[in-house]
């Protein structure tokens, strides 16, 4: 692997992917909305690890800007060997309390961007006979907690489907299903999760290390940590009435 493109690369899981890949000598293409922060992160990583870091500022909810990222993935002269679709956020509100424009923007980032970039990367990778795609989903996709959960459910199912379709092509596709991770995600969404301590709060470094190892092993779905593996195993067999319970559905937004 020589070049990886990571979306949502300036913080949290995306930043950790960039850091760990750079330690392996992988050159990077970093995508995020905040151009100044993106440039700062790129400079830090390049200076620390001696890899080439290209910055590609883009708001993935904007179709023209998303297409620029897709074109970079299609560029045969500068092949991307690993795509990490990580960019995402939560609205932290009930559907009827959100502006429909905000809901559409969320859908564009969490679903449409994953579809478009996966298509661009997969098409190029199949042509070369090699490559990896990691789509960051969530254990929330197993719940019924709003449009964020619905979007992540799509990402997981889409990734599993794409993995099956690309079997034998040399292209590995994996969905990563984190639970709670110590990042900026909840603060940005305005969700108060207290001290963020305990067995269900994961370290981003550990999560990414396992994800990269699982991708190398050819896993289709990666669920980091024994505790979340147990939760996912149980959640897949729960009656839907329990999955729809308000105590579950409020986990990724403010309580009603």
The residues annotated with a catalytic role in the active site are 148
Residue among 151, 235, 139, 142 at smallest CA distance from 180: 139
Side-chain-side CA neighbours of residue 79 (13 Å): 15
Residue 64 CB burial class (10 angstroms; 0-12, 13-18, ≥19) = exposed
In three-state secondary structure terms, 130 is coil
CA-to-CA distance for 121 and 83, rounded, in angstroms? 7
Residue 187 CB burial class (10 angstroms; 0-12, 13-18, ≥19) = exposed
Is-contact 208 255, C-beta < 8 A?
no
| Dihedral angle sign, alpha carbons of residues 249, 251, 253, 256 | positive
223-234 burial, b at 16+ Cβ within 10 Å, e below that, comes to: bbbeebeebbee
């Amino acid at each position: 692997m020589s070049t990886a493109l990571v979306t949502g690369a300036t913080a949290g899981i995306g930043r950790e992917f960039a850091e760990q890949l750079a330690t392996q000598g992988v050159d990077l293409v970093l995508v995020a909305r905040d151009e100044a922060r993106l440039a700062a992160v790129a400079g830090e990583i390049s200076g620390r690890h001696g890899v080439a870091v290209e910055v590609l500022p883009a708001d993935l909810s904007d179709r023209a800007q998303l297409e620029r990222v897709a074109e970079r993935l299609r560029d045969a002269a500068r092949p991307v060997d690993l795509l990490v679709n990580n960019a995402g956020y939560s609205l932290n509100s009930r559907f009827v309390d959100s502006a429909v424009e905000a809901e559409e923007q969320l859908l564009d980032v969490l679903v449409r961007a994953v579809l478009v970039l996966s298509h661009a990367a997969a098409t190029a990778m199949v042509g070369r006979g090699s490559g990896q795609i990691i789509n960051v989903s969530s254990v929330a996709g197993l719940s019924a907690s709003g449009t964020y959960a619905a979007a992540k459910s799509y990402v997981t199912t889409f990734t599993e489907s794409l993995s099956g379709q690309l079997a034998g092509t040399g292209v590995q596709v994996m969905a990563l299903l984190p639970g709670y991770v110590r990042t900026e995600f909840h603060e940005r969404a305005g969700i108060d999760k207290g001290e963020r301590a305990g067995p269900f709060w994961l370290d981003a470094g550990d999560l990414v290390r396992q994800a990269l190892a699982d991708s190398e092993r050819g896993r289709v779905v990666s669920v980091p940590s024994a505790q979340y593996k147990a939760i996912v195993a149980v959640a897949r067999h729960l009656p839907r009435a329990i999955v729809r319970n308000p105590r579950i559905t409020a986990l990724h937004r403010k309580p009603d």
